Structure 1
Amino acid sequence: MERLAGRIMLLWGFPRLALAFLAGAIGALALPPFGFFGAFFVSFTLLVWLMDGSTGSPDGGILVKFRSSFLLGWMFGFGYFVAGLWWLGNALLVDAEDFAWALPLAVFGLPAYLALFYGLATLVASLLWSDGFGRIAALAFGFGLAEWLRSFVLTGFPWNAIGYGAMPIPLMMQSGAVLGLFGVTVLSVFVFAAPALIGTGKGIRIGLALAALLLCAHLGFGAWRLSGADSLLSSAGGTQTTVRLVQPLIDQSRKLDDTERATIFEEHLALSALPPQDGGKRPDVIVWPETSVPFILTDNPDALTRIADVLQDGQVLVAGVVRSEAAGPGSPPRFYNSIYVIDSQGQIISASDKVHLVPYGEYVPYEDILRYLGVTDAIAMPGGFTAAPALSLLTLPGGQSFYPLICYEAIFPNEITDDVERTSALLNVTNDGWFGATPGPYQHFLQARLRAVETGLPLIRGANTGISAVVDPFGRLTKALGYNQKGVIDSTIGSTSVPHWNNQERQNYFWLVMASMVLIAAGSRAGFKFRTN
């Protein structure tokens, strides 16, 4: 290990940057659908050794060190995000004639931007770098700060945060209930980087022992929490609701074809009308995916009548729709990505609009500036939605309510409001059909599952092409319909959440973990300076 570490530290120029890119790309194997979390051990060990080579000499110029450290982190992030997000380009190929020009921006441009955060992570880490085990604490702090910033800067995009690689299965998800995604990210980087100590540096034993302790605590807490999960759920009580998830498997090209709209609508109705599975109870709630109704429903009263014909007395339909709203005389209408709750009389009894829209997919940020610069092609991107000023809960007959998360709203843990405490389930409707048979739908599903663990609520997830599922408050699958399958699933959920830590508590623990990493790194750094004087 020492010989290998030494050779990596001595790399320079293109080989050093190429290895940083490769290290990041290897880390993407920890993400779904692979879920090989051990890949991060290789990834971060290589990064630490590369950082040793650029920051290890106390005689090097500070600007040279910072530039080298930032570039290493940027290349690491570029490799990670290209390997983990290449599938975004598939959405542009659905209507390739108009949008294929933007393919390089999706496949390489977005990763190049996101990699800036990882460049910041290694730059911050270099400020506290030393030859001891504290340097992996410095790296953990840097990545924790970077991932936290990535969750909200320029609207935020915390997709594939490092912490997800440490939580591929329910056993390993439970730490997220206490520390949240970003707290888990910090401790995960510390553990993943620990093997680098074997090759170089001081404090090998204490560093490896602390990493092993954290890994055992991560797994042990998960085992302990899951051991009482079934008894806790069975004793929770509350109203039992049977939910049907409709997965229609509508190809995205059909959704864009005006002549297919009536057929698509009838396909959803036909699946909704199927008899209960396995002779079970008829569904109380039927869920259709995001934008499943292929027209403005309120402009088509006959469609509401058809829905009423299919629903039995007491049933409700929860459907992803596009909602229009008049904007005033002389102005075009505003459109919202929404969810309607429709009762068996064909009446819309509750609605919620999407708050956090997808940049360049559902709206164009800085549109006036782009138009002034003549970048009209970007402004013509599909979407044109308006963001709702605030989230509205979906209220069902009987007073039960769902917390709506439309599409990628499910990837923002810190944006879930305290209103979630008044609901009986999270509801995530999405259309991942844009991305085809790629890692995208699997990555999205994992991130949505973690929200169930964090909030202590079951997750109802309806997806056009999959993965549709009912997930219990511990992240375990109750029932699921895999990707690229057409059909329905019926499942029962309770109306009572399990005991859990709230969002503010998780954020407090995150900053406590961050402070601990700074203290470890600073102490190691002080010892390093003392030894070199």
Structure 2
Amino acid sequence: MKTGLWLRFRRAAYRRDSWVAALSAFGLGALLSFALAPLHILLSLPFALGGIGVLALWARSGMQAAVIGWLAGLGYFSFGLSWIVEPFQIDADRYAWMAPFALVFLAAGVALFWGLAFGLAARWQRGGARLVLLMALWSLAEFGRAYLLTGFPWAGFAQFWIDTPAAQLLPWIGAQGLALLTLLVTLPLALLRYRPLLAVLPLLLVALAGYALPPPPVPEMTDKLVRLVQPNAPQAEKWLPERRWDFVRRAIELSETSSTSDSPKPDLIVWPETSVPQLLNNADETLSAISTRIGGAPLLLGIQRREEGRYFNSAILLDAAGQVVQIYDKAHLVPFGEYVPFGDLMAQFGIHGFAAQQGAGYSAGPGAALLDLGIGVAQPLICYEAVFARDVNATTTRPDMLIQITNDAWFGTRSGPYQHLVQARMRAAEQGLPMLRAANTGITAMIDPYGRMREHIVLGKSGAVDGYLPKPLEPTLFRRTGDWPVFILCIFLALGVAVFGRKSHGRS
């Protein structure tokens, strides 16, 4: 009788502990998101990741650990990706009801990568071995999130560190390497109760090394002056027939140069994504008039175009005479934003990508390309493409600069534009290249090859800013190797711990 009562008590306590662990995992994941832009509360990292590590050690089975990992991811992505509801508010009468479903399904789906990593790591019962294995598998899960199913590396752990000395590691190990390092120095905190010195030592060593580093020097500058234009067109008004040309006129006024002006004439002017509300096929007169008004300076801008029945989201370069001399078509499209699977069929049911209402939506361009802008060779990136380190690393010839045109009005005014900017800055630092960034509603910026912002225009303001183009640095290690060294390291680390763990179980 006593034995039966004791077993029932143990089972009840187990169920109660499971609920506490589940709620804690979700809450710690949400706390971890506070380290993302725009908050950047780095103090949340040791508490959140150390606490998640404790729960990973507590898990009694692979399934229980998988649920903990999934719930931690659900909390993290639900808060960190909350900007995803903003596009559904543009046409709220039609789409607002979809917003909570989009957020929940996106967060829950992406969190599956974490759940898989935690579940596999729980096969090894020894605390230290399990944590090390979790570091490797969690990092591999982040690789999977960045590469599989077109990839979605948004809210990666490296984004925490953009304004700290740790960002100086980006040219060497890239964002995935910095994410692995984040886990290496924080997950051992889960052992604080048992091995205090071992738990805090990695964090202390990295903190001391990081803050002992001198700040990067001021980059050398060219004599090429670039004008970045931010017309600040709200997405709900951008395509209205009665308003859309107002924003073009505003961009022209911000771009105009005069021989009587005290400011020197820019060598290049950059407008954001889809600046001209007209297909390139019909825009010859418009582009000629724009070029005349801005004084004949070369102009790079975003526009849509049609070719053989397909639509492209493009960047074009106009010469001094207003002629299109180069075209780049966006290659990495936003799923369900710029296209939907089986788009022509879905269009029959009124289902389109948010940013494209033509049947199947946009078509993808051939891939990474280079444009000769007259001030140097640039790799163009349109909006979402700056999120992907692998895309920026894809050109065979290294450019002199990166250039991103984007319409961040889709991301709202809270976290989305700030997180998008952070990722653009990371791409510049990884490559050791300056970046020219023109955003419709912000944040427009001249970014130096260390990922630091120089001249910029704040979110939600119209304006133009002039800045001299920094010179590129020497090719970085990440430029030469990409993510391969970190990926291989994670594979070997996982295999090594797996073999060690299996031998340990065999001896026990």
When the two structures are superposed, what TM-score results if normalisation uses the length of structure 2? 0.90
Does structure 1 residue 310 correspond to structure 2 residue 293? yes
Partner of 1:71: 67
**Contact residue 404 and residue 436 of structure 2 kept, 8 A:** yes
Q: 1:209 aligns with which of 197, 201, 215?
A: 201
The CA distance in 1 between the partners of 2:40 and 2:33, in whole Å, is: 9
Does structure 1 residue 174 correspond to structure 2 residue 164? no
Task: Return 5+ residue gaps in structure 2 as ranges.
Answer: 1-12
Does structure 1 residue 338 correspond to structure 2 residue 314? yes
Relative to structure 1, the CA distance from residue 281 to residue 10 in structure 2 (aligned partners, 3 Å threshold; closer, same or farther) is: farther
Q: Deviations over 1:224-277 (max 9, x none)?
A: 4x34x23xx33xx7x532111101111111113122222221111111115699
Does structure 1 residue 117 correspond to structure 2 residue 122? no
The CA distance in 2 between the partners of 1:129 and 1:338, in whole Å, is: 53
The CA distance in 1 between the partners of 2:461 and 2:71, in whole Å, is: 38
Partner of 2:369: 392
Does structure 1 residue 289 correspond to structure 2 residue 272? yes
Which one-letter code corresponds to 1:76 in the other structure? A
Does structure 1 residue 322 correspond to structure 2 residue 317? no
Q: Deviations over 1:284-324 (max 9, x none)?
A: 111101111111133032212212212334x2001011112
Partner of 2:154: 159
Partner of 1:476: 452
**Contact residue 402 and residue 424 of structure 1 kept, 8 A:** yes
Relative to structure 1, the CA distance from residue 79 to residue 162 in structure 2 (aligned partners, 3 Å threshold; closer, same or farther) is: same
1:480, distance to aligned residue in structure 2 (A) = 1.1
**Contact residue 457 and residue 473 of structure 1 kept, 8 A:** yes
Partner of 1:60: none
1:519, distance to aligned residue in structure 2 (A) = 6.8
Which one-letter code corresponds to 2:55 in the other structure? L
1:193, distance to aligned residue in structure 2 (A) = 1.6
Which one-letter code corresponds to 1:457 in the other structure? L
Q: 1:415 aligns to what SS in structure 2?
A: helix
**Contact residue 446 and residue 453 of structure 2 kept, 8 A:** yes
Q: Deviations over 1:186-225 (max 9, x none)?
A: 111121222221124xx543453234333434444xx24x
Relative to structure 1, the CA distance from residue 25 to residue 105 in structure 2 (aligned partners, 3 Å threshold; closer, same or farther) is: same
Partner of 1:271: 254
The CA distance in 2 between the partners of 1:155 and 1:426, in whole Å, is: 22
Does structure 1 residue 440 correspond to structure 2 residue 440? no
Q: 1:150 aligns to what SS in structure 2?
A: helix
Does structure 1 residue 402 correspond to structure 2 residue 378? yes
Which one-letter code corresponds to 1:32 in the other structure? A
State the Cα RMSD in Å: 2.6
Relative to structure 1, the CA distance from residue 463 to residue 144 in structure 2 (aligned partners, 3 Å threshold; closer, same or farther) is: same
Does structure 1 residue 192 correspond to structure 2 residue 186? yes
**Contact residue 9 and residue 50 of structure 1 kept, 8 A:** no
Report how many aligned residue pairs link the two structures: 492
**Contact residue 340 and residue 351 of structure 1 kept, 8 A:** yes
Q: 1:252 aligns with which of 216, 231, 235?
A: 235
**Contact residue 448 and residue 470 of structure 2 kept, 8 A:** no
1:118, distance to aligned residue in structure 2 (A) = 1.0
Relative to structure 1, the CA distance from residue 198 to residue 508 in structure 2 (aligned partners, 3 Å threshold; closer, same or farther) is: same
Partner of 2:4: none
Partner of 2:462: 486
The CA distance in 1 between the partners of 2:477 and 2:261, in whole Å, is: 37
Q: Deviations over 1:66-114 (max 9, x none)?
A: 2111111111001000001112111111011222232123221111111
The CA distance in 1 between the partners of 2:62 and 2:478, in whole Å, is: 38
Relative to structure 1, the CA distance from residue 207 to residue 385 in structure 2 (aligned partners, 3 Å threshold; closer, same or farther) is: same
**Contact residue 406 and residue 430 of structure 1 kept, 8 A:** yes
Q: 1:424 aligns with which of 387, 400, 403?
A: 400
1:149, distance to aligned residue in structure 2 (A) = 0.6
The CA distance in 2 between the partners of 1:9 and 1:455, in whole Å, is: 50
The CA distance in 2 between the partners of 1:35 and 1:421, in whole Å, is: 35
The CA distance in 2 between the partners of 1:20 and 1:370, in whole Å, is: 38
Relative to structure 1, the CA distance from residue 124 to residue 503 in structure 2 (aligned partners, 3 Å threshold; closer, same or farther) is: farther
When the two structures are superposed, what TM-score results if normalisation uses the length of structure 1? 0.86
What percent identity do the matched residue pairs reach?
A: 32
The CA distance in 1 between the partners of 2:481 and 2:57, in whole Å, is: 35
The CA distance in 2 between the partners of 1:278 and 1:10, in whole Å, is: 74
1:23, distance to aligned residue in structure 2 (A) = 0.7
Relative to structure 1, the CA distance from residue 180 to residue 318 in structure 2 (aligned partners, 3 Å threshold; closer, same or farther) is: same
